[in-house]
Structure 1
């Protein structure tokens, strides 16, 4: 795949909250809007719209929704995980989606958009990121977004500082996807 072709691979945004009023979903929407405005291919997957089985159950990997999601993850140039933080970790829906789609994540750039209740869980994505690095050799984008309720406007939208950070993360995902494609095309 050429650098030009890989640049056209979509950034998949995995919105992991199952709450329709989720702040993490608002972060996902902001990333999607930025990528579309930048003429980058993007696909937003809202897990609230998908009936995924729990990983490890009988037939879970053969479920049609899992097969579709796995194909989408495999086709991605990069993945942005947008998730709420519960008990110092990303929510269970995020982990379940990762476990179900497994090797589809292999060697992809991955970034994080996290919405939490307080400021003390800012390292909460590390366990998820470690799993991606060690299990699937993902390239974790060191720029990530972590925000709390105060970072949103009264209307519930990300404030200007958070929006700028979301946009910087999305741009980094595109840049890293292109850089990795170039490296793969130009081996030593």
Structure 2
């Protein structure tokens, strides 16, 4: 089987852990797009279900929490990070998840889907690009963003005007596949950092 025949394992990272968060609505819509893309095999990593401590002092609880999430991140060929925007940036829980890991992100592509008020979470995405560059990940250019997200979805969890988000998701996921395949092939030929 050639590398192009195998679906890429993509981790969908849901970045909010606030009570009453809107993220699961966007995540469900996004999962439908990921599952419909023949080149992708998604798995969810939800910050709200990841009990990583805020302190980096190693404990038994830390080892347990890492044992649950780290293998999912390590196995992923690519990532889609779903983030809201809090105070012109991304949530602390997402930063904590990112910072507890290092090699899991290296030489892999990261795409972003954001939501928020007027900015649609784009300021959070720009901050995340800097963080992932430091972790040696490659961020794809195109994003999907939902401005005034609460009013953008209907009662069934679908965008009220799907044409824009559908087109943006297709372009973003196509780029993610291109980068994912290229970087996976490169890592298999020569492990990153050697």
Give TM class, smaller chain: 0.7 to 0.9
- 2:158 paired with 1:157: yes
Q: Give unmatched runs, 5+ long, in structure 1.
A: none
SS in 2 for 1:110: strand
Provide the C-alpha distance between the structure 2 equivalents of 1:57 and 1:182, rounded to a whole number of angstroms. Answer: 36
- Kindly indicate which of the two structures has a greater share of residues assigned to helix: 1
Residue 14 of structure 2 corresponds to: 15
Residue 64 of structure 1 corresponds to: 64
Provide the C-alpha distance between the structure 1 equivalents of 2:24 and 2:137, rounded to a whole number of angstroms. Answer: 23
Residue 87 of structure 2 corresponds to: 87
CA contact (8 A) 2:11 2:42 kept: yes
Over 3 Å counting, the alpha-carbon distance change for 1:116 and 1:22 in structure 2 is same
CA contact (8 A) 2:12 2:44 kept: yes
Provide the C-alpha distance between the structure 2 equivalents of 1:97 and 1:70, rounded to a whole number of angstroms. Answer: 10
CA drift at 1:99: 0.6
Instruction: Give me the TM-score of the superposition, normalised by structure 1.
Output: 0.82
Residue 24 of structure 2 corresponds to: 25
CA drift at 1:32: 1.6
CA contact (8 A) 2:120 2:145 kept: no
Instruction: Give me the TM-score of the superposition, normalised by structure 2.
Output: 0.80
Which stretch has the larger CA shift, 169-178 or 101-110?
A: 169-178
Provide the C-alpha distance between the structure 2 equivalents of 1:75 and 1:64, rounded to a whole number of angstroms. Answer: 18
CA contact (8 A) 1:11 1:42 kept: yes
Over 3 Å counting, the alpha-carbon distance change for 1:102 and 1:180 in structure 2 is closer
Aligned residues: 185
Provide the C-alpha distance between the structure 1 equivalents of 2:11 and 2:177, rounded to a whole number of angstroms. Answer: 11
Provide the C-alpha distance between the structure 1 equivalents of 2:86 and 2:41, rounded to a whole number of angstroms. Answer: 30
- 2:169 paired with 1:166: yes
CA contact (8 A) 1:24 1:114 kept: no
Provide the C-alpha distance between the structure 2 equivalents of 1:186 and 1:56, rounded to a whole number of angstroms. Answer: 34
Residue 35 of structure 2 corresponds to: 36
1:77-110 Cα deviation digits (max 9, x unpaired): 1001101110111111111110112221111100
Q: Give unmatched runs, 5+ long, in structure 2.
A: none
SS in 2 for 1:147: strand
- Computed over aligned residues only, the root mean square deviation of the Cα atoms, in angstroms, reads 2.8
CA drift at 1:12: 0.5
